[in-house]
Amino acid sequence: MTKISKASQTEKQQSSRRDFFRKTAAYSVSALAAASVMAPVKINAEDDPAIMEEKKWGTTFGYPVTHNLYGQPSPYEHIVTRRNTKLLSSGNYYASIAMCPIHESMGIITPNGLFFSRSHGGTAEIDPNEHRLMIHGLVEKPLVLTMDELKKYPSVSRIHFIECPANGGPEWRGPQFPSIQFAKGMMSCAEWTGVYIKDILKDLGLKKEARWMLAEGVDNSHMGRTIPIDKVLDDAMIVWGQNGEALRPEQGYPIRLLVPGWEGNLCVKWLGRLEFASEPFYAKEETAKYSALKPSGKAIQHFYANEVNSVITSPCPDKPWTDLKKGDLVEIEGLAWSGMGTIEGVDISFDGGKNWVEASLKGLVLPKAWTRFSFMYKYEGKPLLLSSRARDDAGHIQPTVKHEREVMGVESVYHRNGIFTWEVTAKGEVNNVQVLS
Ligand SMILES: Nc1nc2c(c(=O)[nH]1)N[C@H]1C(S)=C(S)[C@@H](COP(=O)(O)O)O[C@H]1N2
Ligand SMILES: [Mo]
82 lines ligand 1 (CB under 6 A): no
Assess whether pLDDT exceeds 70 at residue 144. Answer: yes
- Could you give the 3-state DSSP secondary structure of residue 273? strand
Q: Is residue 300 part of a domain?
A: no
Q: Is residue 301 part of a domain?
A: no
Residue whose CA is closest, atom 9 of ligand 1?
119
The confidence score (pLDDT) of residue 373 equals 98
The confidence score (pLDDT) of residue 379 equals 97
- The per-residue pLDDT for range 58-110, each reduced to its tens digit, is 999 999 999 999 999 999 999 999 999 777 766 778 888 999 999 999 999 99
- Of ligand 1's atoms, which has the minimum distance to the CA of residue 119? 7
Cα 291 from Cα 48, distance rounded (Å): 58
Instruction: Identify whether residues 128 and 211 lie together within a single domain.
Output: yes
Provide the 8-state DSSP code for 138: S
Model confidence at 298, pLDDT cuts 50, 70, 90, reads: low
- Ligand number with the minimum distance to the CA of 223: 1
The confidence score (pLDDT) of residue 8 equals 34
Could you tell me where the beta strands, DSSP code E, fall in 269-416?
A: 271-277, 292-293, 299-300, 309-314, 329-337, 343-349, 357-358, 360-362, 371-378, 384-392
Ligand 1 midpoint to CA 264 (Å):
6
257 lines ligand 1 (CB under 6 A): no
- Of ligand 1's atoms, which has the minimum distance to the CA of residue 165? 14
Q: Is residue 302 part of a domain?
A: no
Ligand 2 midpoint to CA 2 (Å):
55
The confidence score (pLDDT) of residue 60 equals 95
Q: Is residue 74 part of a domain?
A: no
217 lines ligand 1 (CB under 6 A): yes
The confidence score (pLDDT) of residue 294 equals 60
Instruction: Identify whether residues 197 and 284 lie together within a single domain.
Output: yes
- Of ligand 1's atoms, which has the minimum distance to the CA of residue 257? 24
Range in 187-196, 275-284, 364-373, 410-419 with the lowest mean pLDDT = 275-284
Cα 421 from Cα 431, distance rounded (Å): 9
Mean pLDDT of 271-294: 72
What separation in angstroms does the CA of 198 have from each of 62, 238, 385, 424? 50, 10, 46, 48
Instruction: Identify whether residues 332 and 211 lie together within a single domain.
Output: no
Instruction: Answer whether 0.85 is exceeded by the pTM.
Output: yes
- The per-residue pLDDT for range 299-339, each reduced to its tens digit, is 555 579 999 999 999 999 999 999 999 999 999 999 999 99
Mean pLDDT of 252-280: 97
Instruction: Identify whether residues 141 and 44 lie together within a single domain.
Output: no
Residue whose CA is closest, atom 10 of ligand 1?
265
Higher-pLDDT residue of 344 and 17 is 344
Q: Is residue 170 part of a domain?
A: yes
Assess whether pLDDT exceeds 70 at residue 23. Answer: no
Instruction: Identify whether residues 116 and 213 lie together within a single domain.
Output: yes
Cα 282 from Cα 273, distance rounded (Å): 14
Instruction: Identify whether residues 250 and 335 lie together within a single domain.
Output: no
Would you say 271 and 257 are in contact if contact means Cβ atoms under 8 Å apart? yes
Ligand 1 midpoint to CA 251 (Å):
7
Q: Is residue 373 part of a domain?
A: yes
User: Taking the CA atoms of the chain, what radius of gyration do you get in angstroms?
Assistant: 25
Residues 6+ apart with CB under 8 A from 115: 82, 100, 188, 190, 242, 248, 250, 251
Could you tell me where the beta strands, DSSP code E, fall in 138-278?
A: 143-146, 156-163, 187-196, 212-217, 224-228, 237-242, 245-246, 256-258, 271-277
Cα 44 from Cα 22, distance rounded (Å): 9
Assess whether pLDDT exceeds 60 at residue 124. Answer: yes
Range in 8-22, 68-82, 336-350 with the lowest mean pLDDT = 8-22
Q: Is residue 298 part of a domain?
A: no
Instruction: Identify whether residues 51 and 110 lie together within a single domain.
Output: no
Assess whether pLDDT exceeds 80 at residue 3. Answer: no
- Residue 151 sits in a domain of what CATH number? 3.90.420.10
Instruction: Identify whether residues 367 and 285 lie together within a single domain.
Output: no
265 lines ligand 1 (CB under 6 A): yes
Instruction: Identify whether residues 21 and 143 lie together within a single domain.
Output: no
Instruction: Identify whether residues 274 and 376 lie together within a single domain.
Output: no
The confidence score (pLDDT) of residue 293 equals 56
Q: CA angle, 156 as apex, 154 and 161 as ends, to 5°?
A: 150
* Beta-strand pair 271-277/132-137: parallel
Assess whether pLDDT exceeds 60 at residue 262. Answer: yes
- The per-residue pLDDT for range 209-236, each reduced to its tens digit, is 999 999 999 999 999 999 999 999 999 9
Ligand 1 midpoint to CA 123 (Å):
10
Ligand 1 midpoint to CA 22 (Å):
56
Q: Pick from 265, 270, 290, 306 the residue to mutate for probing ligand 1's pocket: most ligand atoms within 8 Å of its CB.
A: 265
- Ligand number with the minimum distance to the CA of 123: 1
Q: Is residue 226 part of a domain?
A: yes
Higher-pLDDT residue of 160 and 19 is 160
Among residues 290, 322, 354, the one where a domain terminates is 290
Q: Which residues of 414-432 are buried (b: 16+ CB within 10 A; e: fewer)?
A: bbbbbbbbbbbeeebbbeb
Instruction: Identify whether residues 164 and 201 lie together within a single domain.
Output: yes
Assess whether pLDDT exceeds 70 at residue 5. Answer: no
* Beta-strand pair 343-349/329-337: unpaired
434 lines ligand 1 (CB under 6 A): no
123 lines ligand 1 (CB under 6 A): no
Q: Pick from 93, 164, 187, 414 the residue to mutate for probing ligand 1's pocket: most ligand atoms within 8 Å of its CB.
A: 164
Among residues 259, 290, 321, the one where a domain terminates is 290
Ligand 2 midpoint to CA 270 (Å):
15
- Could you give the 3-state DSSP secondary structure of residue 203? helix
The confidence score (pLDDT) of residue 41 equals 63
- Residue 345 sits in a domain of what CATH number? 2.60.40.650
Mean pLDDT value across the chain: 88
Peptide bond preceding 315: is omega within 30 degrees of 0, i.e. cis? yes
Instruction: Identify whether residues 318 and 397 lie together within a single domain.
Output: yes
Count of domains observed in the chain: 3
Domain that holds residue 335: 309-433
Residue whose CA is closest, atom 22 of ligand 1?
265
